[in-house]
Each structure stands twice: as C-alpha cells, then as structure tokens.
Amino acid sequence: MAPIKYTIAVVKRNPMLKIKVTGIYNGQDQNFYFQNPLTGAWERMQGGGGEETTPTNQGLSVEFLKKLTSCLKNLADRFYEESKDLFGGSFCRESRYPS
C-alpha cells in the first residue's frame, strides 16, 4: 500500500487558534507519522499500529478512520494545552461597536 497523507484541523477558543496536524501513514512499516505543529519535525505517533489501528486488506475501514481521527484530535488538544501560553492565553476582545 502506498503511503497515505492525512490532515486534520482543530479550532480552539481562548485564544482562538486553528491547529492543523499533517501526517503520513506508511503501510509498509505500519506506523503513523505526524508533523509537529510547533517545530515542523516529523515524529512517530505513539500508540500507533496494532490490530485496532491497522487498515484492512480491502482498504481503510470506518473504525480505522475513527481511531486515526481520535488520535489526531487528542494530539492537537495536547499540543494546544502545552502551548497555550505561547499564543497569549486568555485575552479580552474589544468590541468594534459602542454599547
């Protein structure tokens, strides 16, 4: 199976931030790789592989895609929580219109 490129975007609030996680599934070694949104370095996803995350011989199953999406969302959530201070933390918005 040829490598599969995937992307998920997660929008977070307070501060408003869109985190885009891009990765590759390499069918030959059964591993998932993702590009760290902060450093840009490629890393192997921990917990990847195993029967529950391996695509079937007929292609990608719905369960496989659900598991992959869940892993990527958790990764984006963890990145957001660890890096929240970098992006300014909480802030008050100024209204454009007078009250």
> Which residue type occupies 50?
G
Q: pLDDT for 37-75, tens place per residue?
A: 777 788 887 654 454 445 555 566 778 778 877 887 888
Domain boundaries defined on the chain: 4-87
> Are 80 and 10 within 8 A, CB to CB?
yes
> Are 8 and 32 within 8 A, CB to CB?
no
pLDDT at 59: 61
Q: pLDDT for 8-23, tens place per residue?
A: 787 877 777 777 777 7
CA angle 22, 27, 31 (to 5 degrees): 60
